[in-house]
Structure 1
Amino acid sequence: MILEIVSPEASLFKGEITSVTLPGVGGSFQILNNHAPIVSLLQKGTVKITAPEFKFSKESAKLFSKVNDQNYTLAISSGTIEMKDNKIIVLAD
């Protein structure tokens, strides 16, 4: 599935992932391949991304923390997420 993370300043990440865990207002939740369509608000917390490989722009790489070769995290203040047809768009502050 494809994940795209966008902030008001720039596109932070776009790529093929295997899972993402997000800080929802009702608690943390994970999205895997073929998840049902969803739109949700996000609260302050950490976005955890698992992917076979990561490619970041030079500017956005400093915002992500490497856990290991296949896992990175991103701290956000708030946001919105939409998942539809194996494409996830996160609008993050």
Structure 2
Amino acid sequence: MYLEIVTPEKVLLSAEVVSVTVPGVEGEFQMLNNHEPIVSVLEEGDVKIEGSFTIEEDVQNQFTKQADNKYHLHIKGGVLEMKNNKAVILAD
């Protein structure tokens, strides 16, 4: 699936990923390829991303590498939309 993570300042990530786990207001949940359409408010927490992708050099310091092909990005909140195998996170 395709993932975009956007902040008011810039696009942090725009890449094909295997999965993304987000901190929803009713708990953490994961999305994989062909997930049903969803819109969700996100709480403060870590967005967990798995996949083989390149993070732009100017934003690498915002991501924490957990293991091979696994990264975390801490957000203060935001909104997620998943539709047509594309997830867009508008993060604070």
Report the TM-score range of the alignment, normalised by the length of the smaller protein. Answer: over 0.9
**1:9 alignment partner, SS class:** coil
Equivalent residue pairs, number:
92
Provide the residue aligned with 2:32 in structure 1: 32
Q: Deviations over 1:48-83 (max 9, x none)?
A: 0000x2211121111000011210000000000000
Partner SS, residue 58 of structure 2: helix
Cα distance between partner residues in 2 of 1:57 and 1:47 = 17
- TM-score normalised by structure 1 residue count: 0.96
In structure 2, list runs of 5 or more residues that go unmatched: none
Q: How does 1:14-93 map to 2 (within 5 A)?
A: 14-51=14-51, 53-93=52-92
Paired amino acid for 1:47: V
Return the alpha-carbon distance in structure 1 between the equivalents of residues 54 and 17 of structure 2.
11
- For residue 34 of structure 1, report the CA deviation from its aligned partner: 0.8
Question: What secondary structure does 2:80 align onto?
Answer: strand
Matched to 2:14, the amino acid is: K
Structure 1 residue runs of 5 or longer lacking an equivalent are none
Q: Which amino acid in structure 2 is aligned with residue 61 of structure 1?
A: Q
Q: Give the Cα separation in 2 of the matches to 1:77 and 1:10.
A: 16
User: Percent same amino acid among aligned pairs?
Assistant: 51
Q: Deviations over 1:20-40 (max 9, x none)?
A: 000000100000111100000
After superposing on structure 2, the runs of 4+ consecutive aligned residues of structure 1 that deviate more than 6 Å are none
Tell me the SS of whatever aligns to 1:72.
strand
- Root-mean-square deviation over aligned CA pairs: 0.6
